[in-house]
């Protein structure tokens, strides 16, 4: 449950971001508008082939489905937003819609940071860290001026990290796999996740009887079982994301776009 202070902080953040609505926006604004049009106007089989605009769809499938979900609201808000021939369309209604979607999507980050504060015991330091991230100048300029959805994506990453803090390593790894299927640039931190999950989740050690304290043996069976669970969870996530395109025989085309 959100307390009065949480709601007040959220409203302050919303107020600051509303002030940035009239600000400059980069070509990324048109990139995402075009992706709304692609996912709304074309069948799945043509999403990663459409090229009448130079801003082709080049994010992984989960982000494409995210754009598709937004496009349903965009069609109701202003049908021209989701028309493929509306290249460079940036009327007041279009700007308002796209700015609003960034703000709404950042509720994922707000929720994740709230979970982080709880997992940290509600310490003053955790609250300051959460506030600094939610009102980060980086997010303000890149997402609310330049125009991207990094706050939403970082919210997923924070959830993954919080699950690890809570000792739910399998869920942490699965959530990170979901994040990779939204934006593949997070592959840069995949080695850190691999090492953490391999050592902290997959590797199971047992102490033998009559063995000196502090000396443990690797339980190969239990470790293999955990590795299989983690591998299966990640495989399911990637199958859901890329499976439809594999069935269509489009994985090489999709990979060429990423």
pLDDT digit string, tens, across residues 195-244:
999 888 887 777 666 555 556 666 677 878 889 999 999 999 999 999 99
The tokens for 236 are 């399911």
Closest alpha carbon to 96 in 28, 27, 12, 29: 29
Closest alpha carbon to 176 in 253, 101, 230: 230
Provide the pLDDT for residue 210: 58
Range in 21-25, 108-112, 252-256 with the lowest mean pLDDT? 21-25
Q: How far apart are CA 38 and CA 178, in angstroms?
A: 22
The tokens for 168 are 């739910």
Provide the pLDDT for residue 88: 85
Provide the pLDDT for residue 17: 79
Asked if residue 10 has pLDDT above 80, the reply is no
Q: How far apart are CA 214 and CA 163, in angstroms?
A: 28
Distance of CA 201 to the CA centre of its chain: 23
The model's pTM: 0.90
Which runs of consecutive H residues, i.e. helices, occur in 106-197? Answer: 107-119, 124-134, 137-141, 150-165, 169-180, 190-197
Average pLDDT taken over every residue of the chain: 88
* pLDDT tens digit sequence for 138-189: 888 888 888 899 999 999 999 999 999 999 999 999 999 999 999 999 999 9
Which runs of consecutive H residues, i.e. helices, occur in 181-215? Answer: 190-197
In angstroms, how far apart are the furthest CA atoms of the chain? 76
8 Å CB contact between 86 and 33: yes
CA distances from 58 to 111, 181, 182, 184 (A): 28, 12, 11, 10
Instruction: Give 198's DSSP letter.
Output: I
The tokens for 28 are 């990324």
* pLDDT tens digit sequence for 77-99: 999 999 998 888 889 889 999 99
Provide the pLDDT for residue 3: 66
Provide the pLDDT for residue 2: 59
8 Å CB contact between 105 and 139: no
Q: How far apart are CA 124 and CA 179, in angstroms?
A: 29
Q: Residue 193 contacts by C-beta under 8 Å, 6 or more apart in sequence? A: 173, 176
Provide the pLDDT for residue 65: 97
What integer is the mean pLDDT of 25-30? 86
Provide the pLDDT for residue 213: 58
What would you report as the CA-atom Rg of the chain, rounded to the nearest whole angstrom? Answer: 21
8 Å CB contact between 32 and 26: no
Count the neighbouring beta carbons within 10 Å of the beta carbon of residue 235.
11
Asked if residue 7 has pLDDT above 80, the reply is no
Asked if residue 14 has pLDDT above 80, the reply is no
């Amino acid at each position: 449950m959100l307390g009065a202070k949480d709601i007040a902080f959220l409203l302050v953040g919303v107020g600051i971001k509303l002030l940035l609505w009239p600000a400059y926006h980069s070509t990324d604004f048109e990139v995402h508008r075009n992706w709304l049009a692609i996912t709304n106007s074309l069948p799945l089989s043509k999403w990663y082939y459409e090229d009448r605009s130079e801003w082709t769809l080049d994010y992984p499938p989960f982000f494409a489905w995210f754009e598709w979900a937004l496009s349903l609201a965009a069609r109701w808000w202003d049908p021209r937003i989701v028309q493929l021939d509306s290249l460079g369309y940036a009327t007041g209604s279009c700007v308002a819609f796209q700015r609003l979607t960034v703000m709404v999507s950042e509720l994922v980050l707000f929720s994740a940071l709230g979970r982080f504060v709880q997992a940290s015991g509600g310490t003053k330091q955790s609250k300051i860290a959460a506030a600094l991230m939610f009102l980060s100048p980086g997010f303000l300029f890149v997402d609310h001026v330049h125009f991207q959805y990094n706050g939403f994506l970082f919210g997923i990453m924070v959830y993954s990290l919080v699950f690890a803090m809570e000792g739910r390593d399998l869920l942490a790894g699965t959530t990170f796999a979901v994040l990779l299927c939204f934006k593949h640039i997070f592959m840069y931190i995949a080695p850190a996740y691999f090492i953490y999950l391999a050592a902290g989740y997959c590797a199971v050690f047992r102490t033998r009887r009559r063995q000196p304290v502090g000396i443990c043996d690797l339980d190969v069976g239990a470790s293999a079982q955990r590795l299989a669970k983690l591998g299966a969870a990640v495989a399911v996530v990637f199958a859901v994301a890329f499976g439809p395109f594999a069935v269509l025989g489009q994985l090489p085309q999709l990979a060429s776009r990423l």
